[in-house]
Amino acid sequence: MSRDRYSRFRKFHQAKWDEEIIFELSVPGERGVLVPKAEKEVAAAVGDGVSALAGLKRKKAPALPEISQMRLNRHYLRLSQETMGTDVNIDISQGTCTMKYSPKVQEHMAARHPGITEVHPLQDPETMQGILEIIYKTEQIMKEISGLDYFSFQPGGGAQAVYTNASIIRAYHQSRGDLKRDEIITTMFSHPCDAATPNTAGFKVITLMPDENGFPPIEAFKAALSERTAGIMITNPEDTGIYNPRIKEYVDAAHAVGALCSYDQANANAFLGIARAHEAGFDMCHFNMHKTFSAPHGCMGPATGAVGYREFLRPFMPVPRVEFDGSRYYLDYNCPQSIGKTRSFLGNFGVVLKSYMWIMQHGAEGLKEAAICSVLNNNYMMQKLKKVPGVVMYYDFGVGKNRLEQVRWSWEKLQQDTGFGTTDVNMRLSDFGIQHYWTSHHPWVVPEPFTLEPCESYSKDDLDEYCGVLAEISRECYEEPEVIKGAPHNGPTHRVKHMEIDDEELIAVTWRQYLKKKGLKK
Amino acid sequence: MKKLGVIVNPVAGMGGRVGLKGSDGDEIQKKARELGAKPESPLRAIEALKVIARLKDQVEIIAYPHEMGADEAREAGFDPRIVGSISSGATSPEDTVRAVHDMVAAGADMILFAGGDGTARNIYTALGSGSDIPVLGIPAGVKIHSAVYAVNPRSAGEVTALFLEGKAVNIREAEVMDIDEEAFREGRVSAQLYGYLNVPENKKYVQSVKSGTRSEQAEIQGMAAEIVANMKDDVIYVIGPGTTTRSIMQRLELPYTLLGVDVVLNKQILANDVNEQQLYDLVKGKKVHIVVTAIGGQGHIFGRGNQQISPRIIRAAGKENITVVASRDKLTSIMPRPLLVDTGDPELDRELSGYYRIVAGWQDILIYKAGLE
Ligand SMILES: Cc1ncc(COP(=O)(O)O)c(C=O)c1O
């Protein structure tokens, strides 16, 4: 019995290796691999392989760390033990990120199959028919899932997908000579990239605030619409897990003033196989393949934001498009009105491959079941967490009573009762072997927030353990405040100094910057 | 050792419970006592001070005698340094003013007070506009139109403790407002903006990379830039009072009146600090645009601190020529209540109700409702 027999809690303690930064491990001359000399035949054909590149050769060797294989292996294993990633903890904490299980077989294919790993993106398309076929077939599937007519997998993430869609909205209006449309409408609980990326693309952004129901009233939306509205870019269900039931009215009202409608479906776990962008009237949408379709997120990428469009927007889509002439797959660059490339080559093909595999493993019925299970898991957790002292569920009436795949919770009552807020609870969470939870985008519309998303992958035992931990921390806040004040107790690092993290004078994101800021190097 | 000045207005809040709309004035206080009112503010002060008591050995409390702070500090476990003198049981606003002077002279790093708008105003009067000593209110009064209070006594204690420990807090300029109680009891509200105090507030730690940080200063600069970029030629701009609107004048490099109304035409100053009549004479028959911000803790866009912009001036501009500037944080702090309009003309108030495009930053607009209380 590895967990406590009665409380069911783990006797967890984080690893403390205090592992050096890899550059500190470097010893001049140490080698991980000795590159063999080319065989005679090869040398006869291309010489030493380097002289031919005379003009391209670096004058100085790159300043890479020099480390033996064994030490390198130890380095990464230690680092992996110092993190609390999805593979070691019950990763319900990262609401809106859809931390579902990423089957390992996907990784094996993407990382080991020579048909994937040995291909160069500049090869003749004739020699990478398999890869093109997978992209093409995934497109056919995504068309079915969304009801839209064309897809591209070029954007390297959700935010880039939304940027791509904003660019397409602009290109569409420009193509019609309609130059006065310079506003995009979004909502407060949509992902911030629905506001940020259109702004980067040159639009003014109008944000709708939620009313007491948790979503913006249609009257507010209508007040925002005008002949200057280029498009709307919104998430639904929003970060709160509430589905705006009047979405079709929003879309119709936007269309009535000539605006386009873009649906942020980054996280489609709530309605996969159940509801589609097409029926909701949207002109375009995007999916995060690294969320809903199980490809791992991996520290800021690789990711893929799959963008989908109705027929009339095809001329503006990114190039190249993967097409099929009945016998061969080919790349079509002949799109004069295209917004161009949003990422090099074909995007992150590995992510498309993993998503394709996941879809094929599940089948159409399986996708729908994943959505149903994720909503079921969330509703089970909801009933348990609502009973935890100090927890408040905002908008818990009317439409807000029913949540889909996630909930933005609040520790408002806990804070009023005990003085401990969401930050304090978060500090204690890691003592139970669960990584810190995500609070909310700023500003905190829901006070003392935390956002949980139990995807379909987690078992009842996982959900019970997670809820049990939050209940225990709540109890401690009320009854043993000293435990909370000193938390975390079972981690190698005590509290991180936020002031220092926020301070641009102090933070270093590269080794060179670190040396410079520490005054170790000019 | 850090020094915290503690001022308790022992009679603040007494009028509220017994329905007297304020506690200023001897008569009212007597009446409140007769109606069975009990002092609220000492209890609230103790609640806040208990939170700070964890720093007992690192902080010196400077307090006025008896119920004006000393009693409360002792009750919370401190051994305060007492300054000044009062006649217990018969304290007055002048005592508050003296207390501030004495605490500044004693080298206080911050002042924590328990009271309402009247107390805040006394403190502002004593400190004057040039002072940068942080002041935080424990809300204990009947009237809390000012924006200088923490949300409750406990969080007042928390923020004060963080500030004294030198931890991350923001200092923001917050409005000191007060209404004429005499008029208030007769059903009229006439609130004035008296000035700004430096108020520490808890900086919410940024928990993950997903949320990102915004610099408040950059946000205000963004709002000003957005307003200025959209200014039209040959339209008279009426710029209301406040720190947010001040940034517009600063961006235009024009002289401004923090607490008053300034008038701009073609990016040049037309008049500073106008009264209602002067303003009316300037805008009559012209194209007018009004720029105001949400004033005070409750978010009034008209009728508090900017009464110079009267109904006839608002009518001259028209609802479509009103721009409201307010930060996201301001709006979330009053959410889900609407921004308030209280021009004194009920019909105009109704016309002004509805959704506004609020300028919250550069190319950043929020849709938010304004309406009646
Ligand atoms: C609804 C929504 N849209 C867009 C995004 C942005 O996706 P990415 O992080 O891949 O850029 C996210 C991710 O957090 C999201 O939750």
- In chain A, % of residues over pLDDT 70: 98
Is the pLDDT at B10 greater than 70? The verdict is yes
pLDDT band at A323 (very low <50, low <70, confident <90, very high): very high
Q: Which residue has the higher pLDDT, A118 or A58?
A: A118
Is B335 an 8 Å CB contact of chain A? yes
**Which residue from B minimizes the CA distance to A196?**
B364
pLDDT in the model for residue B14: 74
Range of lowest pLDDT (A20-29, A461-470, B203-212, B274-283): B203-212
pLDDT in the model for residue B23: 65
**Which residue from B minimizes the CA distance to A449?**
B207
Average pLDDT across chain B, whole number? 87
**Ligand 1 atom closest to the CA of A301, numbered from 1:** 10
What residues in A contact B214, CB-CB < 8 Å? 442
Type of residue numbered A493: T
Is B355 an 8 Å CB contact of chain A? yes
pLDDT tens figures, A265-315 = 999 999 999 999 999 999 999 999 999 999 988 655 589 999 999 999 999
CB–CB contact B168 A498 (8 Å): yes
Is A144 an 8 Å CB contact of chain B? no
Instruction: Write the residue with the smallest CA distance to atom 9 of ligand 1.
Output: A158
For chain B, the distance separating the N- and C-terminal CA atoms, rounded to the nearest angstrom, is 45
ipTM value for the complex: 0.84
Is the pLDDT at B205 greater than 50? The verdict is no
pLDDT band at B206 (very low <50, low <70, confident <90, very high): very low
pLDDT in the model for residue A464: 95
Q: What is the CATH number of the domain that holds A351?
A: 3.40.640.10
| Beta strand pairing call for B288-293 and B236-239 | parallel
pLDDT in the model for residue B170: 77
Task: For residue B284, give how far its alpha carbon lies from the nearest alpha carbon of chain A (Å).
Answer: 29
pLDDT tens figures, B292-310 = 999 887 788 998 888 889 9
Mean pLDDT of A481-502: 83
In a domain, A396, yes or no: no
Is the pLDDT at A262 greater than 90? The verdict is yes
A118/A108 Cα distance (integer angstroms): 14
**Which residue from B minimizes the CA distance to A207?**
B366
Is the pLDDT at A466 greater than 60? The verdict is yes
Domains of chain B and CATH, by start: 2-200 (3.40.50.10330), 217-371 (3.40.50)
A156 C-alpha vs ligand 1 centroid, how far in Å? Answer: 11
Task: For residue A174, give how far its alpha carbon lies from the nearest alpha carbon of chain B (Å).
Answer: 20
What residues in A contact B329, CB-CB < 8 Å? 443
Is the pLDDT at A238 greater than 80? The verdict is yes
Helix (H) or strand (E) holding A233: strand A229-235
Range of lowest pLDDT (A147-151, A187-191, A265-269, B339-343): B339-343
Of B211, B336, B367, the CB nearest to A224: B367
pLDDT tens figures, A365-381 = 999 999 999 999 999 99
What residues in A contact B51, CB-CB < 8 Å? 419
Is the pLDDT at B208 greater than 80? The verdict is no
Of B204, B335, B355, the CB nearest to A219: B355
In a domain, A422, yes or no: no
The residue segments making up the domain with residue A226 are 110-359
Mean pLDDT of A192-216: 94
Is the pLDDT at A92 greater than 90? The verdict is yes
pLDDT tens figures, A375-418 = 999 999 999 999 999 999 999 999 999 899 999 999 999 988 88
Of B168, B208, B366, the CB nearest to A499: B168
pLDDT in the model for residue A518: 86
Three-class SS of chain B: CEEEEEEECCCCCHHHHCCCCCCCCHHHHHHHHHCCCCCCHHHHHHHHHHHHHHHCCCEEEEEECHHHEHHHHHHCCCCCEECCCCCCCCCCHHHHHHHHHHHHHCCCCEEEEEECHHHHHHHHHHHCCCCCCCEEEEECCCCCCCCCECCCHHHHHHHHHHHHCCCCEEEEEEEEEEECHHHHHCCCCCEEEEEEEEEEEECCCCCCCCCCCCCHHHHHHHHHHHHHHCCCCCCEEEECCCHHHHHHHHHCCCCCCCCCCEEEECCEEEECCCCHHHHHHHHCCCCEEEEEECECCCCEEECECCCCCCHHHHHHHCHHHEEEECCHHHHHHHCCCCEEECCCCHHHHHHHCEEEEEEEECCEEEEEEEECC
In a domain, A189, yes or no: yes
Mutate to test the interface with B, among A187, A190, A191, A207 (most CBs of B within 10 A): A207
Is the pLDDT at B212 greater than 50? The verdict is no
In a domain, A30, yes or no: no
pLDDT band at A133 (very low <50, low <70, confident <90, very high): very high
B338 C-alpha vs ligand 1 centroid, how far in Å? Answer: 30
In a domain, A505, yes or no: no
Judge contact between B151 and B158, C-beta under 8 A.
no
In Å, how far are A117, A171, A192, A262, A446 from A200, measured between CA atoms?
A: 34, 15, 12, 16, 27
Mutate to test the interface with A, among B55, B158, B207 (most CBs of A within 10 A): B207
Is A440 an 8 Å CB contact of chain B? yes
Is A118 an 8 Å CB contact of chain B? no
Number of domains in chain A: 1
In a domain, A398, yes or no: no
Is A215 an 8 Å CB contact of chain B? no
Mutate to test the interface with B, among A206, A412, A426, A507 (most CBs of B within 10 A): A206
pLDDT tens figures, B19-72 = 666 667 777 777 777 777 777 889 989 999 999 999 999 999 999 999 999 999
Mean pLDDT of A244-272: 96
Is B217 an 8 Å CB contact of chain A? no
pLDDT tens figures, B134-152 = 999 998 877 778 889 887 7
Mean pLDDT of A487-492: 89
Q: Which residue has the higher pLDDT, A46 or A122?
A: A122
Is A445 an 8 Å CB contact of chain B? yes
pLDDT tens figures, A505-516 = 788 889 989 999
Angle at which helix A193-200 crosses helix A158-175, to 10 degrees, equals 50
In Å, how far are B74, B257, B260 from B271, measured between CA atoms?
A: 53, 10, 11
Q: What single DSSP character describes residue A269?
A: T
Type of residue numbered A470: L
In a domain, A323, yes or no: yes
In a domain, A314, yes or no: yes
Judge contact between A453 and A381, C-beta under 8 A.
no
pLDDT tens figures, B312-346 = 999 999 999 999 999 888 888 888 889 999 888 88
